[in-house]
Chains A and B, each alone.
Chain A
Amino acid sequence: MRRTPRVVTALVGALAVATALALTGCSGATVDTATSATPTASDPTLEGSITVYAAASLTTTFTELADEFEKANPGTTVDLTFAGSSDLVTQITEGAPADVFASADEKNMAKLTDAGLVDPSASEDFATNVLTIAVPPSNPADVTGFADLGKSDVKTVVCAAQVPCGAATVAVERATGVTISPVSEESSVTDVLGKVTSGEADAGLVYVTDVEAAGDSVTGIEFPEADQAVNTYPIAPVADTANPAVAEAFVAFVTGEVGQGVLRDAGFGTP
């Protein structure tokens, strides 16, 4: 019995470590872009850190923008969390500590304004995105336009109608009268792109910015009917943010000159 306390301590310690590991593991893909910024702030009113929850399609652009923002405002830190917009909405509704939310569609932002978690007047549209056809570089099925996706011998992968890119796909199908019989309806645009880059699918419907980011691994085929379904990206500070000054400054940064430039370079449209 004498040895018991030590064992207990060891066990409790192990448990604590395990719990800590589990907790950090569950916190999602938080990217800390904090640079070694000196605390000598040029603007003394802007200080402290904020957490930005942004749609997965904003990963590249927002990582760059957070970096730029920290450089322009020494003394601030921007932590980023990327996931599907509806996942982020669920997390914020369940009390996740987000200061700014950038959504890939208006529907998910509306969920937060309806719940009173975001002030509707504070929400600003900052980018648009349209669908494009992604094909493997060799274009095995000779896809040239949207009508080709309706052919039965073209293996097309799309997003399921439940997710934003799938809703856009349905809208384009309606507008064009072309019915796609997909071989798979994925839950995220990344999964659609994955099926095309791996060569499993002949074509996939993804966003223009996804093709831009994928580089040489896929070829994008733009089609005029894409204008029938334009996705608008809104951004807003979360109502009960602990640091409203920095949160608002970041929103202004994204909708401002630098932010718009970075987004335009990545293929986003202006709302």
Chain B
Amino acid sequence: MTPAPHRAYAGVPVWIAVVAALGAAFVLLPLVAMVSRVDWAEFVPLVTSESSVAAFWLSLRTSVTATLLCVVLGVPMAVVLARTGFRGQRVLRSLVLLPLVLPPVVGGIALLYTFGRRGLLGQAFDALGVTIAFSTTAVVLAQTFVALPFLVLSLEGALRTVGTRYEAVAATLGARPTTVLRRVTLPLVLPALVSGAVLSFARALGEFGATLTFAGSLQGVTRTLPLEIYLQRETDPDAAVALSLVLVLVAVVVVALAHRAGGPSGVATRRRGS
């Protein structure tokens, strides 16, 4: 085997590699164990049953909508957090990122008290004739709530990394703030935006606790893939395992996409955009 041409110094201690291998096995072994339980003869009928397909499409639809909402709300949030300084900004950042560490079921309860029938905003919505509880909207709200911090976090980090040099130059050349944002800032952090959006999508796809607490569970309306898996497990563990595998495959594809979009070369290659 010929050594790699540009190999940098890689003095990784042996014990680090051993522990790393242990960690990798810890993550991968359960997946292998799950795949080993899949009933392959029944796999296709199980994942193409009416309830499975309904859950799959509902999950895709709501996760895509939630991701779009995350981009619409998250980009301005990241820009404000990265490019401005005001009193209480650090506290605000911690609070905004709270859904990352909150158990989803707590998020569900919080959403219930906000958008529920007796909630803070729910009563106003009710007066307008809009009911959120038990609707697909509730699913999207729950998913957006838990997924938003992923986008804000990755985009804010990228914004700080690229710095304000190009933006300052653009501004001195007479570009208005909106033009700078559109023509300079966003193209610079596009890879981070894409990977952040992909991560948000993945988080929305896996959302379970908040949806169960806040939106309920009805086929085609609120019962997303994770909820369907949870329910199928009661009577048909084979179907639950088959659907879990589908979810794992989707997750693998999503992670691979995020990895490609957000690789370290991503930011560098986009620099020419200025």
Contacts and interface: CB of A to CB of B under 8 A. Distances in A.
A194 B215 CA distance: 12
Interface string A143-158: 0000000000001010
A160 B231 contact: yes
A184 B231 contact: no
Contacts of B213: 194
B212 A4 contact: no
Given A84-B234, A162-B231, A184 B218 contact: yes
A86 B234 contact: yes
B38 to A, nearest CB: 17
Given A90-B237, A198-B112, A186 B232 contact: no
B133 interface: yes
B19 interface: yes
Interface in A8-38: 8, 11, 15
Given A86-B234, A184-B134, A4 B112 contact: no
A128 interface: no
A155 B134 contact: yes
Contact of A199 (B13, B15, B118, B234): B118
A182 interface: yes
A197 B118 CA distance: 11
Contact of B19 (A15, A84, A195, A199): A15
Interface string B5-39: 00000000101000100100000000000000000
A157 B223 CA distance: 14
A162 B235 contact: yes
B99 interface: no
Contacts of A185: 216-219, 223
B191 interface: no
12 contacts: A4-B13, A84-B234, A157-B216, A160-B217, A162-B234, A163-B234, A185-B219, A187-B231, A187-B234, A199-B116, A200-B116, A200-B133
Interface of B: 13, 15, 19, 22, 112, 116-118, 133-134, 212-213, 215-219, 222-223, 227, 230-237
